[in-house]
Structure 1
Amino acid sequence: MKKQQKFWHNAHNLEPLPNDYESWNAAKKQDFIWQQRILESRYDNLPPLKKIDVIGLLFTLLSIKMDRLADEAPRKWNKAIHAHASVAKVKLIPTPTTPFTGLFKGADYGLLRLSLTADPSDRGFAPGLALKLLVDGKPSENFSALVSLTGQGNNYNFFANELSNIVPEENDLGPKFINLIFRRVSKFPRKLYLQGFAKIDQTGHPEPDPFYPYRLFLVPNPTIQFPEQPPHDFRDDLATIPVGTSLFSLYAVDPKNVGDENANQNADIIDEPSYRQNAQLIGHLETTSEFVASYYGDSQLFFRHQRFANQ
């Protein structure tokens, strides 16, 4: 408890990542963040989940979320949504037949952050994830995924539904308002681009001919099930998952099957059912550690959102 209190007390004066951090190999980066940041700030007692900080979101400089390449947030960064989470080390295991390049061909050193948009007693249970795959000598590649903008109601099973980097439009006032906020920095706030994952492999070598999916579906392992009925804290649930668990199967939509060469510019091409039906299995995400809820994972670990179509 004393070590955790000391970390919190010094959090605003926390030394930034070492100057040569970006030059390290992926394994060393992962080990440093995990050992020196995540585990050092592990919660003894879980903090209560927060409501969405709408005012804070309005005043957040969202361009930082889109443009910052670092693995650590800038000082005084405010997480207005997805404020609390659990983080695990993961690896991406590809299928032998995946056509996609770069990190889609496999990545041994990653960090997966599983979170809720906000306190589920306020707006319902809304799972989200952020994946960071680390690269030797280069910035990491990141993407995020949601079940939907409104979540899954009163179903408290984190693994009840698939997640995707593209989510359909919602008619509820709350999601519409948040969409408007994110439109300040992205023409397509309900889509995140996957190009970066295909442009470089985990050793830092660029791909001469990058090929990336239009859309990913992350399908939960059906053997991982938690109670649907509240109340229980998803962070306690995640802490029971053993090391070496296959969490998600990755199904990808080949851009050639989208049916429109200009689909990247078309905000309406999202809900076509055949996309999911024709998506091919390209890999799995497997844990290489336990899940840990920590101060650093909640406040300092940073995941970039890549604008759709490099706007």
Structure 2
Amino acid sequence: MAAKELTSVIEFWPGAHDLDALPSEYESWSAAQKQDYLWQQRLLKSRYDRLPPLRKIDVIGLFRTALRQKMDRRSDQAPARWQKAIHAHGSVAQIKFAPIADSPYTGLFQGVDHGLLRVSVTGDPSDRGFAPGLALKFFVDGHPSENVSALVSLTGQGQNYNFFAHEFSNIVPVVHQLGPRLINLIFRRVSRFPTKISLEDCSEVDQHGQRVTNPRFPGQIFLHPTEAVQFAETPHDFREAMAKIPVGTHLFAVYGVTEGQEGKRNLAQLIGNIHTTSEFVASFYGDSQLFFRHQRFKNR
């Protein structure tokens, strides 16, 4: 951590110090061990004493970011000097995904006992409106984790500060406003479909590290917030609201459509549910070094 960064962080994390690279044997650990290590040795140890202010989108920083690593890096920790230029601040909780009986999808869609969820907003809501987003990390025994990112939309939900007011999806429509168009153009350097995240990798391995012979995955998922997590619509810091969510809360009912039916929400079927298995924590590690890979979308 550079001296300048340390000075800016220590105000919110008094014990600020460099967090080393992950242990060399980390990837060979079980899913449970990896989740526990990141939670205990990274997220909780760098927990903020006071929440830092939300930052505006850093378009210049995004342009300078090696975005190809966002698509290709197979690690739970970001490379040195990585910057979350769009979703700078958020909160992280441990989660599990419980599938419905007879789910048609394979791999991690058959169940995840050990995962992380990071919730965040695009930039500073007072600057551009409230635009929530999330990222899921599913741990796998002896193999790299699989990750899924989802948004409400590219433009957000105006002055409605209820983080759970709308569904989240791995695919959102292209919009023609200047800000989103500029960000899309930057991401087009590394992906033909910057507003779409593929779910294919999640279907190819289960949580125990077993490869799937004939993988089947949904083309699009919809994370439908439950009544248990409805916040006020008036302005507030979403991180403070997240910290009040009890362990074991049913956050989302997850719906999916098969590949080729993307955009057809009326055809979506329930495929599982996401529950928290810890509290939500805002931390330096979660805001700077916890890494979520994007899988490129393929137009078949």
Structure 1: how far apart are the matches of 2:183 and 2:220?
22
Gaps of 5+ in 1: 259-269
Q: Does 1:5 align with 2:50?
A: no
Which residue of 1 is the match for residue 197 of structure 2?
Answer: 192
Matched-pair contact (CA < 8 Å) for 2:139–2:207: yes
SS of 2:254 mapped into structure 1 = strand
Compared with structure 1, are the counterparts of its residues 161 and 209 closer, same or farther at alpha carbon in structure 2 (3 Å cutoff)? same
Structure with the largest fraction of helix: 1
* Counterpart Cα distance in 2 of 1:136 and 1:248: 25
The amino acid that maps onto 1:163 is: F
Quick check: 1:152 aligned with 2:157? yes
The correspondence for 1:303, drawn from 287, 292, 297, is 292
Q: Structure 1 residues 310 and 142 mapped into 2: Cα distance closer, same or farther (>3 Å)?
A: farther
Question: Do the aligned partners of 1:88 and 1:289 also contact (CA within 8 Å) in 2?
Answer: yes
Specify the alignment match of 2:21 in structure 1.
Answer: 16
Task: Decide whether the 8 Å contact of 2:12 with 2:52 is kept in 1.
Answer: no
Match of 1:181 in 2: 186
The residue aligned with 2:273 is: 284
Counterparts of 2:211 and 2:95, CA distance in 1: 22
CA drift of 1:5 comes to: 2.3
Distance 1:243 1:82 in 2: 24
Report what 2:6 is aligned to: none
Contact persistence 1:126–1:153 (CA under 8 A): yes
Q: TM-score, normalised by structure 1?
A: 0.91
In 2, Cα distance between the equivalents of 1:287 and 1:224? 11
Aligned pair in 2 of structure 1 residues 95, 70: CA closer, same or farther (>3 Å)? same
What is the number of equivalent residue pairs in this alignment? 291
Q: Within 2, Cα distance between the matches of 1:310 and 1:77?
A: 29
Aligned to 1:238: 242
Q: How far apart, in 1, do the equivalents of 2:193 and 2:115 lie?
A: 27
Post-superposition Cα deviations, 1:240-272, rounded to whole Å, max 9, x if no partner, equal 10000010111001126x2xxxxxxxxxxx5x4
| Superposition RMSD in Å | 1.5
Structure 2 residue identity aligned to 1:251: Y
Partners of 2:115 and 2:220 lie apart in 1 by 20
Question: Aligned with 2:103: secondary structure?
Answer: coil
C-alpha contact (below 8 Å) 2:166/2:225 kept by paired residues: yes
Cα distance in 2, alignment partners of residues 53 and 2 from structure 1? 21
Specify the code of the residue in structure 2 equivalent to 1:5.
P
Ranges of 4+ aligned residues in structure 1 off by more than 4 Å? none
CA–CA distance in structure 2, aligned partners of residues 235 and 51 of structure 1:
16
Contact kept, 8 Å, 1:193 with 1:310, in 2: the verdict is: no
TM-score by length of 2: 0.94
